[in-house]
């Protein structure tokens, strides 16, 4: 277990109170107010350590910076393909996905991560408005 760090504790507290799934840079800019001498590298190291310890989630989108989530209980995310926003989905766990995977895989399935993609409510309204105005 790594030594206690006020900076790490502050980053964890920040993620527990922000539900925007921020990038490391966003965390850095906000944490810098409390710790003016903190570096972006320190924020990255602490985010990676917290994720490795299972205290936060790292959401890798593949095309852009990772996002971070203080909510570690099983849940699903929606990723807007237009603005890139990451939102929590208000749906319960789906153990049937694990079971379907187990039936078709000779290894051991211990869980899954699912991301839903499409347009977030804001982008959907914006696109609907643009289509009507054409």
118 beta partners:
80
Query: For residue range 98-121, what is the model confidence (pLDDT) as tens digits?
Result: 999 999 899 999 888 889 999 999
Which of these CATH numbers, 1.10.10.10, 3.20.140.10, 3.40.50.300, 3.20.20.70, describes 1-71?
Answer: 1.10.10.10
Query: For residue range 54-92, what is the model confidence (pLDDT) as tens digits?
Result: 999 999 887 789 999 999 988 999 999 999 899 999 998
Q: Domain 73-134: give its CATH architecture.
A: 2-Layer Sandwich (3.30)
**What is the helix (H) or strand (E) element at residue 43, kind and residue range?**
helix 40-52
70: Cβ contacts below 8 Å, ≥ 6 apart: 12, 14, 15, 16, 17, 18, 56, 57
Residue 4: Cβ-neighbour burial (10 angstroms; 0-12, 13-18, 19+): exposed
Query: Tell me, what DSSP letter sits at residue 55?
Result: S
Instruction: Find out whether 68 and 28 touch, Cβ atoms under 8 Å.
Output: no
Report domain extents, the chain.
1-71, 73-134
């Amino acid at each position: 277990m790594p030594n206690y760090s006020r900076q790490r504790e502050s980053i964890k507290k920040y993620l527990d109170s922000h539900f925007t799934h921020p990038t490391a840079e966003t965390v850095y800019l906000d944490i810098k107010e409390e710790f003016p001498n903190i570096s972006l590298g320190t924020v990255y190291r602490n985010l990676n350590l917290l994720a490795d310890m299972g205290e936060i989630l790292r959401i890798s989108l593949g095309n852009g910076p990772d996002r971070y989530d203080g909510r570690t209980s099983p849940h699903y995310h929606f990723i807007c393909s237009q603005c890139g926003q990451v939102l929590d989905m208000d749906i319960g766990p789906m153990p049937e996905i694990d079971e379907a995977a187990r039936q078709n895989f000779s290894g051991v399935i211990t869980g899954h991560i699912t991301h839903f993609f499409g347009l977030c409510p804001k982008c959907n309204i914006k696109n609907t408005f643009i289509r009507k105005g054409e």
